[in-house]
Amino acid sequence: MNRNERLRTAVVLTLFAAAFVSLTVSSYTQKSATWDEPQHITAGYMALRFRDYRTDLEHPPFLRMWAALPLLAIPHIKTDTSVIDRTGQVDWVRIGQFFFSHQFMYIDNDADRMLNGGRFMIVLLGVLLGILLFSWAREWLGFWPATITLAFYTVEPNILAHSTLVTTDFGLTCFFFGTLYFLWRTTRTLTIGNLAGLTIFLALSVVSKFSALVLGPIVLALLAIHACRSAPWVCRIGRSGTLATSAKKALVAIVIVVLLALASWGMIWAVYDFRYAPSPAQAGWRFHFEDDPSLQQRTPLLAKAAGWIDSHRLLPNAYTEGFLLGQAKAQVRGAFLAGRYSLKGWWYYFPVAFLIKTPVSLVLLLIAGLVICAKRRGTFLRDEIFLLMPIVCCLGAAMAAKLNIGLRHILPIYPFVLLMAALAVAEFLGSKQKNAYAALIVIGLLWLFEFVRVYPDYLAFFNLSIGGPRNGYKYLADSNLDWGQDLKPLKKWMDKKNVQHVNLAYFGTADPAYYGMQCTYLPGSPFFAENLVRHPQLPGYVAVSTTILDGVYLSDAGRAFYAKLLPDKPMAIIGHSIHVYWLDKAWW
């Protein structure tokens, strides 16, 4: 890369970082915590400050610890871990950890200060992912396709939504993509740098979210395919040369696999402080879900395997038992799709969610990229398969699972979808057709139009195929649209309208009292307000989260309570996720 190329690359990446940070920070500072964020932040702080891994063990701790780093600079944070010591594992996992996180965030400390600091750490991973995407696209397709694709990434609503949240979804997406990027580079040229990048990103993926385990078969398959190809493998380790025979390439691939396995295993122990017990203060306190009859019934083989691994202490107790707990809970979970309910989901849930929550322009560019892939058979096993295999495997794993609660579970496919779009962009730019540039401009303007319509409510994005965000609640619920993020905007609306009191049915874990809201809690309210549910004060304002309106987690009686509100037109819609009505009498 010459000086001019380095300069223009630096300019593009600087402008991207500035725009991305502005779009994310200006959005997340307007939003309250989503359902999972208090637990993630609390778990991260407990792990960093006390080396205690007992809070919400359904995820490995690395990304939580990363997000909690700013909390170490906040003086006088209050917490009491002795509550955990006094609680049994079943009660702790079932409800204790939720109240503990709520106490930590909203009663003992300043929730928004901790939340905003943690969210910014995830935004930094969004910048890193953008740089990785640009780098791969530039090396593969050239500077201008990479620049245009980076611009698309900057205004992709699903990327923006999850890069502003303290969860494990976006961090995994970043590390997952980095793993495949450096694997692609490694198969092109085997160097210490490429191998180090591959090892680091894979190890970080494994300690970020349990679903990262799907990377194992993907990496194995891609290395096997590369070893079987007739093309030589360029090697720059030791004496530069090439690996020409399949036997040599297979041997090197096996060595790489062993290295990756050992590095991942070591990283798991490292993030748990090289300790088997979940807590340093209570060495005898451990999880043993393999003995729970309900978990044994849901996942009998996994329970036996986890019990064997844990009894031999091959992995930290919290890691093994957290994986088992998460898989067992995912077997039965309420789901909503276009007016229908299920406890085990639908195989087509994620394809539908992708098609209605992805910008129309990106869907069109993806289709064009797939068509181009079908024509580029000569390079398919060298380049395009590194994009298609992650998409197929991640989407296939999600479709086979029964956890249908959000597009975020297939978020790792989005950078690869954007690379497929980059392939289409390169074709447009290289076309001799006069209308090719015009078509690309129209696609870009359509993308920008959809983005502007939803700002700053990225999580609630739905594309024009269903009429945009205002119709999203008719098709999907939970983290697709309404995850508790709009309690803070609701309070802002109340202040603007001089509304002193609201009857509230809120799907989330942020505390209305923290924002100074006067409310009467209605059925479906958060766990910490279950004992405060009352009849609404009417006439008055009634604010209902769309997830509650959809009734996805309610009983039949609960759904019936809100059913008559669905056809009514609300007087206000807050962030596309909370409907506000004025009612003068009982509606149910």
Residue with tokens 């580029």: 376
Q: What is the pLDDT of residue 379?
A: 87
Q: What is the DSSP letter of 533?
A: B
The secondary structure element, H or E, covering residue 426 is helix 414-430
Q: What is the pLDDT of residue 82?
A: 87
Q: What is the pLDDT of residue 377?
A: 80
Contact assessment for residue 277 and residue 283, using Cβ atoms and an 8 Å cutoff: yes
Q: What Rg value do the Cα atoms of the chain yield, rounded?
A: 25
Note the pLDDT tens digit of each residue in 330-367: 888 899 999 999 998 999 999 999 999 999 999 999 99
Query: How many helices and strands, by DSSP H and E, does the chain display?
Result: 24, 10
Could you read off the pLDDT tens digit of each residue along the chain, which spans 588 residues?
A: 788 889 999 999 999 999 999 999 999 999 999 999 999 999 999 999 999 999 999 999 999 999 999 999 999 999 988 888 888 888 999 899 999 999 999 999 999 999 999 999 999 999 999 999 999 999 999 999 999 999 999 999 999 999 999 999 999 999 999 999 999 999 999 999 999 999 999 999 999 999 999 999 999 999 999 999 999 999 999 877 899 899 999 999 999 999 999 999 999 999 999 999 999 987 778 899 988 888 888 899 999 999 999 999 999 999 999 999 999 988 888 999 999 999 989 999 999 999 999 999 999 999 999 999 988 888 888 999 999 999 999 999 999 998 999 999 999 999 999 999 999 999 999 987 878 899 999 999 999 999 999 999 999 999 999 999 999 999 999 999 999 999 999 999 999 999 999 999 999 999 999 999 999 999 999 999 999 999 999 999 999 999 999 999 999 999 999 999 988 899 999 999 999 999 999 998
Note the pLDDT tens digit of each residue in 80-126: 888 888 888 889 998 999 999 999 999 999 999 999 999 999 999 99
Closest CA to 410 of 550, 260, 576, 214: 214
Q: Is 73 exposed, middle or buried (0-12, 13-18, 19+ CB in 10 A)?
A: exposed
The residue count of the chain comes to 588
| Residue 201 vs residues 198, 488, 578: alpha-carbon distances, Å | 5, 36, 38
Provide the phi-psi class of 268: left if phi over 0, else alpha when psi is between -120 and 50, else beta. Answer: alpha
- Give the CA count within 13 Å in the CB-facing half-sphere of 377: 1
| Residue 484 vs residues 32, 76, 262, 409, 544: alpha-carbon distances, Å | 7, 28, 40, 18, 11
* The pair of three-digit structure tokens given for residue 110, joined into one six-digit string: 């300043």
349-352: Cβ within 8 A, 24+ apart: 349/399, 349/404, 350/395, 350/398, 350/399, 350/404, 350/407, 350/409, 350/410, 351/395, 351/399, 352/475
* The pair of three-digit structure tokens given for residue 156, joined into one six-digit string: 């992709």
Closest CA to 174 of 123, 218, 137, 213: 123
* The pair of three-digit structure tokens given for residue 352, joined into one six-digit string: 């539908």
Alpha helices in 230-316 (DSSP H): 246-271, 293-298, 300-311
Contact assessment for residue 63 and residue 168, using Cβ atoms and an 8 Å cutoff: yes
Q: CA 435, 439, 442, 448 torsion: positive or negative?
A: negative
Distance CA 358, CA 339 (A): 20
Residue with tokens 């200006």: 26
Other beta carbons less than 10 A from residue 174's beta carbon: 28
Q: Is 322 helix (H, G, I), strand (E, B) or coil?
A: helix
Evaluate the omega torsion of the peptide bond into residue 70 and state whether it is cis, within 30 degrees of 0.
no
Q: What is the pTM of this model?
A: 0.96
Q: What DSSP string describes 62-97? A: HHHHHHHGGGGGSTT----THHHHTS-HHHIIIIIH
3-state secondary structure 430-441: HCCCCCHHHHHH
Q: What DSSP string describes 15-48? A: HHHHHHHHHHHHHHTT----TTHHHHHHHHHHHH
Distance CA 559, CA 523 (A): 10
Distance CA 211, CA 63 (A): 14
Closest CA to 211 of 403, 342, 73, 361: 403
Q: What DSSP string describes 141-162? A: H-HHHHHHHHHHHHT-HHHHHH
Q: What is the pLDDT of residue 2?
A: 82
Q: Which residues of 525-542 are buried (b: 16+ CB within 10 A; e: fewer)?
A: bbebbeeeeeebeeebbb
Q: What is the pLDDT of residue 7?
A: 94
- In this structure, the strands spanning 233-235 and 241-243 are antiparallel
Closest CA to 160 of 368, 452, 426: 452
Sequence letter at residue 163: S
Sequence letter at residue 465: S
Q: What is the pLDDT of residue 508?
A: 95
* The pair of three-digit structure tokens given for residue 298, joined into one six-digit string: 């849901």
Q: Is 30 exposed, middle or buried (0-12, 13-18, 19+ CB in 10 A)?
A: middle
Q: What is the DSSP letter of 278?
A: S
